Structure 1
């Protein structure tokens, strides 16, 4: 029988509903088809309770989801909150549909996540790209400068919104308050994909969250730094510049009609935990992360991201100065049962959450330091972001290119063609190509530069980059 070890159910209506379902299990004549039997496919379906005819009635008569979303809105200081069982991917696409319409321009950070790109495609939006600053010492993105956004809005006064990702995948934090000020001067909303920042604003040592800094819409993942099920996410909005009815319509248009109750209940439980015990749990995780950073900083040549512009709960290291190959280091960590979020030749990224402790962080830091020493080689220069050598050359709207008939062609025959896909060397995750952009000689040179440096190529249909998908003539 499931339990509530931290006594959260009184403050989490969806968690309470999930527990009550198990305390008085029905004999359902509804989906899901396993009917709560574990003797058919095993415990893999344990805990799978639907929202409809599970946490609530088929007609949603008790309103537990609406109550849970209202509690989350109050905690984050939003006017509206919607839970997602499709992750930040679903949430980003819903927001893209909400903020602008077919053919409208939006200012978009070039470090967009694939889900945001697909949101642009689904909504038929035309991006005005803005690039983040990049740290020359590490080659990692620092965030889009407010002056860059202000310039883009001045050049495109018809733009309907500004969409950025912050913090970045590697944990660098930009000036969200400055971005909000720049956008609001043109009376357009700022949407922040803060998938990695559900913990921001809930400990004095952490940055404030994006709504506190003036953003209009925030998308965040409850399953990244909070203890929720995979695919748990939230959309949080202030509605002065965003139509709440249109936001609801965007959420419903892109959501499943059979939402997983366990994901919803875990989102509610994670919110209740963050509200009640978040500062304590985050404080312990932050202290452990600081200790791990100190240990790794003692490794000769290893650059450890730290300081005011970095999420204190993200552990990112750059190995170029040690000569060690991050892919080999990752194999050592996997063998020790310590998988990390990302590893390529130069950068290793470890996600820390409020579930981590001094013991888990100490084990990771010790193994990582030992592996770097084992595989130490000649220091090499940091690979600069290849995407910064390329000026995007749009020739088709993203949606038209994405849905157009396409073909895979050898890389050396792609020049002059319109890309049908997103290609982004990572890190720093800045696309060299987006759908609808022309493949130029500079594009090909940048991709070859990234590939030769051992940089991971994200999103491309062919990760080896022997071919590119381009629009058929």
Structure 2
């Protein structure tokens, strides 16, 4: 970036109010593109003409022939990625425009060969499971600990991981999700020690933890706790565009050339420059103002927790193993139905990240202030009172409590000849489908797993409660696709815990 670009930036520039372009080469290139007003003879075909399809295309600038030359001779993306790698203490950083989904699948392709076994926390996001399909890896499932008070996952127990690796001494990697969708935090340092004692990498889906490590009251990020790689979404807890994500890795146990090849194999060849620039800007914001901004966010969430905890019957998730920036409200003690509460919030213009019968998850970020959070708390309190009923026991959601029975590998099931059968006739058969309540997108049933009575009951219960059942071939879940043949227990069956 030249001196002219730095001079243009400042608190009075409405396009860069915090003066970040001086610290973020991709952001500077995006802003400079608008200042030049070129008429490119490159993709995208809209050429930012808003008179054709409207303002939706105004800010869409490509990386190739937009932020940088088609040959990438400016090296702007490499500069931005190298800077982020240094900030996270990584050897490698890649910016993705495909979200954490892309990062998870790239890492699955990077750690083994088809047929290799890997130990996987069962509450993984669907993207990692489909990464196993792409890579042909055989999962050895391990269930997370469940907190009986909340019915929520609390991360993988180191002893459970050690036992799984004892049963699968040939495993090539360990995949975990931390923090969970509801903000509970595990013991990554201990898990890293267990994995490293076997000489294999610990890979962490940290999609909800882009802010970790940037304030003393937040947990350290996964690499700082000893993990070998992490994937995180800049668009979830940071102010970046949708689909913005980072893949960060250390290369002692992960081959950087293999990771680079895997990343490119699953990435678009036409990355959106605006998404990349927003990632760069979000990283620059963290580096410069993260402690101050995150401190304010933590104060807001703490105030909201106190106010909601004062409502009779309400429980908020908090404590040393919970992300202090996450606002998760448990409703069982109020008798209120979270799905009905969510409908009221949507009607009030306050949609939340997730709601099921017992839980409401509201994502509070750096973009919030006391006015927005205060409005949420007031409306949530009012709706809880409006729908208050007889208190009930907390029941762990199917996403956290499913016990998988492996019939064959995910890849084998995905490519198998399939037949569609009525839902209850699928019991005892091997699923070719991935079915998950969404959010959080954690599979209750995955390709290669035997359909059990427990799984069917869980899906029917979630559907009856008004939860969206996602990814099934039959959106009404009256039928299910199964392998054209009886269920046969495979090697993964012995490794399921």
TM-score norm. by structure 1 comes to 0.96
Mapped to 2, the partners of 1:92 and 1:227 lie a distance apart of 21
Mapped to 1, the partners of 2:138 and 2:210 lie a distance apart of 29
Mapped to 1, the partners of 2:438 and 2:146 lie a distance apart of 13
Tell me the SS of whatever aligns to 2:248: strand
Equivalence map 1:281-296=2 (5 Å)? 281-296=293-308
Tell me the SS of whatever aligns to 1:204: coil
2:195 is matched with which residue?
A: 183
For structure 2, the 5+ residue unaligned runs are 1-12, 486-497
Measured after TM superposition, the shift of residue 195 of structure 1 is 0.4
> Cα gap change, 1:428/1:275 in structure 2, threshold over 3 Å: closer, same or farther?
closer
Equivalence map 1:396-415=2 (5 Å)? 396-415=408-427
Measured after TM superposition, the shift of residue 35 of structure 1 is 1.3
2:326 is aligned, of 307, 314, 330, to: 314
* Alpha-carbon displacement from aligned partner over 1:263-300 (angstroms, at most 9, x marks no partner): 00000000000100011111111101100000000011
Do 1:134 and 1:142's aligned partners in 2 also have CA atoms closer than 8 Å?
yes
Measured after TM superposition, the shift of residue 47 of structure 1 is 1.0
Do 1:296 and 1:365's aligned partners in 2 also have CA atoms closer than 8 Å?
yes
Do 1:418 and 1:437's aligned partners in 2 also have CA atoms closer than 8 Å?
yes
Mapped to 1, the partners of 2:332 and 2:468 lie a distance apart of 15
Tell me the SS of whatever aligns to 1:33: coil
Do 2:339 and 2:466's aligned partners in 1 also have CA atoms closer than 8 Å?
no
2:139 is matched with which residue?
A: 127
Mapped to 2, the partners of 1:188 and 1:29 lie a distance apart of 48
Measured after TM superposition, the shift of residue 19 of structure 1 is 1.0
Mapped to 2, the partners of 1:391 and 1:164 lie a distance apart of 17
1:250 is matched with which residue?
A: 262
> Cα gap change, 1:2/1:103 in structure 2, threshold over 3 Å: closer, same or farther?
farther
For structure 1, the 5+ residue unaligned runs are none
Matched, 1:159 2:171: yes
Equivalence map 1:180-329=2 (5 Å)? 180-329=192-341
* Alpha-carbon displacement from aligned partner over 1:385-407 (angstroms, at most 9, x marks no partner): 55787643222211111122323
1:81 is matched with which residue?
A: 93
> Cα gap change, 1:147/1:420 in structure 2, threshold over 3 Å: closer, same or farther?
same
Do 1:393 and 1:438's aligned partners in 2 also have CA atoms closer than 8 Å?
yes
CA-atom RMSD in angstroms: 1.9
* Alpha-carbon displacement from aligned partner over 1:168-224 (angstroms, at most 9, x marks no partner): 111111111111111011011000000000000001111110010000000000000
1:420 is matched with which residue?
A: 432
Do 1:141 and 1:428's aligned partners in 2 also have CA atoms closer than 8 Å?
no
Higher alpha-carbon deviation: 355-364 or 256-265: 355-364
Higher alpha-carbon deviation: 383-392 or 35-44: 383-392
1:466 is aligned, of 459, 470, 478, to: 478
Measured after TM superposition, the shift of residue 448 of structure 1 is 4.5
Matched, 1:61 2:68: no
Mapped to 1, the partners of 2:287 and 2:207 lie a distance apart of 18
Do 2:94 and 2:248's aligned partners in 1 also have CA atoms closer than 8 Å?
yes
Higher alpha-carbon deviation: 228-237 or 316-325: 316-325
TM-score norm. by structure 2 comes to 0.91
Do 1:389 and 1:442's aligned partners in 2 also have CA atoms closer than 8 Å?
no
> Cα gap change, 1:431/1:20 in structure 2, threshold over 3 Å: closer, same or farther?
closer
> Cα gap change, 1:45/1:352 in structure 2, threshold over 3 Å: closer, same or farther?
same
* Alpha-carbon displacement from aligned partner over 1:351-381 (angstroms, at most 9, x marks no partner): 1112221221111111101110111001111
* Alpha-carbon displacement from aligned partner over 1:306-337 (angstroms, at most 9, x marks no partner): 11111111111111110111111111111211
* Alpha-carbon displacement from aligned partner over 1:398-423 (angstroms, at most 9, x marks no partner): 11111223233212211221101123
Do 1:281 and 1:355's aligned partners in 2 also have CA atoms closer than 8 Å?
no
